[in-house]
Amino acid sequence: MTQISVVIPVFNEEESIPELTQWISRVMIQHGFSYELICVNDGSTDNSWTVIRELSKTDKEIKGINFTRNFGKSAALDAGFKKADGEVVITMDADLQDSPDEIPELYRMITEEGLDVVSGWKKERHDPISKTIPSRFFNGVTRWISGIPLHDFNCGLKAYKRKVIKNIHIYGEMHRYIPLLAKWAGFSKIGEKVVQHRARKYGVSKFGLERFLNGFLDLISVSFVHRYKKKPMHFFGLLGTFSFITGFLITCWLIFQKVYGLSKGLQVREIVDQPLFFLALVALIIGVQLFLTGFIAELMTSNQSMEPEYKVEEELNF
């Protein structure tokens, strides 16, 4: 088995790919690692795929996956993980801001310390304040919700045991939460390493401030999916039952008021003339709808498939 698989999502990084692959190869040869380098071209509009193809002709350790269009970083990582054959799988960004010199220590922490996941921590960042402050806030909230004491969930430099990446499925924009997905899958030995963060050498950042808003939405989504993916009726059924019972009790109270008033010879408003009647009606209808939603979700869950959301156009050296 290959010792290390390096998975690199690529999006418009034609200038940095040759330098990055040479650097990784130099580190691997220096430390005597058997390795493979999987570059996943995520629909680049520049010459990134042409560069990867040419490099793969002269270096059989360099393997490539080319998407038909841009599907996102999560899809790129998922495709790379499916093909990875290494004992330890390491991910890093293609922009040269992650240093390949960190690879030997990441490998050691997985193999010798017995960790399932090691996440990089860019303690000193070469980013503008418009990125660092939102990032710290985002990481603080994620630590609080997830219960995982990592400082930098967004760091692309991470290491995983092979069995971890083979037992999780990444979709949407969940690449930020792979440690959380790993923990929920039973791989709870998660560590952290301070890593070097280099200034971008080529091109411009592909990420804007919107990724932090998307990050919070993804956190809510992944938390909900983890808790109720296999038991959606527990969520929708509980809300539906509460809503239905509330509407039923209000209806009973209105009927009781009407009957009691008539028995005492009092003048009582018609039930349909009271605002509470419409509130009860809405609660009853919503309750039934939520219950049916839970039932349909249960049927979908029992018949769901795990087809990848991305399409591969070409593969190299696999």
CATH number of the domain encompassing residue 211:
3.90.550.10
Domain that holds residue 239: 232-302
**Domain shared by 219 and 240, yes or no:** no
28 shares its domain with 105: yes
What is d(CA 192, CA 211) in angstroms, rounded to the nearest whole number?
23
pLDDT at residue 155 is higher than 70: yes
More confident residue, 59 or 202: 59
The mean of the pLDDT values for the chain is: 85
Quote the Cα angle for 141-145-151, to 5°: 50
CA atoms within 13 A on the CB side of 218: 22
309 in any annotated domain:
no
**296-310 tens-digit pLDDT:** 876 676 555 556 768
Q: Across the strands, what pairs with 66? A: 41, 314
* 62: pLDDT strictly greater than 80: yes
Shared domain for 197 and 261, answered yes or no, is: no
My answer on whether 245 and 222 are in the same domain is no
Q: Is it the case that residue 203 has pLDDT exceeding 80? A: no
Split at pLDDT 50, 70, 90, the class of 111 is very high
Is 313 a domain residue? Answer: no
Of the residues 180, 200, 228, the one at which a domain ends: 228
Taking the C-alpha atoms of residue 51 and residue 139, their distance in angstroms, rounded to an integer, is 35
Using alpha carbons, list the distances in angstroms from residue 28 to 23, 117, 158, 185.
9, 20, 17, 30
Cα gap 294→288, rounded to integer Å: 10
In a domain, 130, yes or no: yes
At residue 210, the pLDDT reads 60
Confidence of residue 128 (pLDDT cuts 50, 70, 90): low
Sign of CA dihedral 17, 23, 27, 32: positive
Across the range 66-89, mean pLDDT stands at 94
CA-CA distances (angstroms) from residue 120 to 27, 131, 190?
18, 17, 11
Based on the fold, state whether residues 82 and 185 are members of the same structural domain.
yes
In this predicted structure, the answer to whether residue 197 has a pLDDT above a threshold of 90 is no
Within a domain: 310: no
Say yes or no: 98 and 246 in one domain.
no
Choose the final residue of a domain: 228, 257, 292. Answer: 228
pLDDT of residue 207: 57
On whether both 189 and 242 belong to a single domain, the answer is no
pLDDT tier at 147, thresholds 50, 70, 90: confident
Considering all CA atoms of the chain, what is the largest pairwise distance in Å, rounded to the nearest integer?
Answer: 98
Distance CA(214)–CA(222), nearest Å, equals 12
Name the most confidently modeled range: 169-173, 187-191, 276-280. 187-191
166 and 242 belong to one structural domain: no
pLDDT at 208 over 70: no
Bridging pattern class, strands 88-91 and 62-67: unpaired
| Residue 132 included in any domain | yes
Position 110 pLDDT exceeds 60? yes
63's tokens: 């393997």
Beta strands 158-161; 4-10: pairing state: unpaired
Tell me, yes or no, whether 217 and 261 share the same domain.
no
Q: Are residues 167 and 262 in the same domain?
A: no
Q: Is the pLDDT of residue 13 over 60?
A: yes
Mean pLDDT of 282-298: 85
Q: What is the pLDDT of residue 80?
A: 95
Residue 309 CB partners (closer than 8 Å, separation 6+): 71, 75, 171
CA distance 229 to 24: 39
Residues 203 and 270 in one domain: no
What pLDDT score was predicted for residue 127? 61
Q: Are residues 39 and 137 in the same domain?
A: yes
Q: Is residue 308 part of a domain?
A: no
* Secondary structure, 3-state, the chain: CCCEEEEEEECCCCCCHHHHHHHHHHHHHHHCCCEEEEEEECCCCCCHHHHHHHHHHHCCCEEEEEECCCCCHHHHHHHHHHHCCCCEEEECCCCCCECHHHHHHHHHHHHCCCCCEEEEECCCCCCCHHHHHHHHHHHHHHHHHHCCCCCCCCCCCEEEEHHHHCCCCCCCCHHHHHHHHHHHCCCCCEEEEECCECCCCCCCCCCCCHHHHHHHHHHHHHHHHHHHCCCHHHHHHHHHHHHHHHHHHHHHHHHHHHHHHHHCCCCCCCHHHCHHHHHHHHHHHHHHHHHHHHHHHHHHHHCCCCCCCCCEEEEECC
Last residue of a domain, one of 211, 228, 245: 228
Which strands form 158-161's sheet, in the order they lie side by side?
A: 190-194, 117-121, 158-161, 88-91, 4-10, 35-41, 62-67, 312-316
- Count of domains forming the chain: 2
Residue 318, domain member (yes or no): no
Determine, yes or no, domain membership for 175: yes
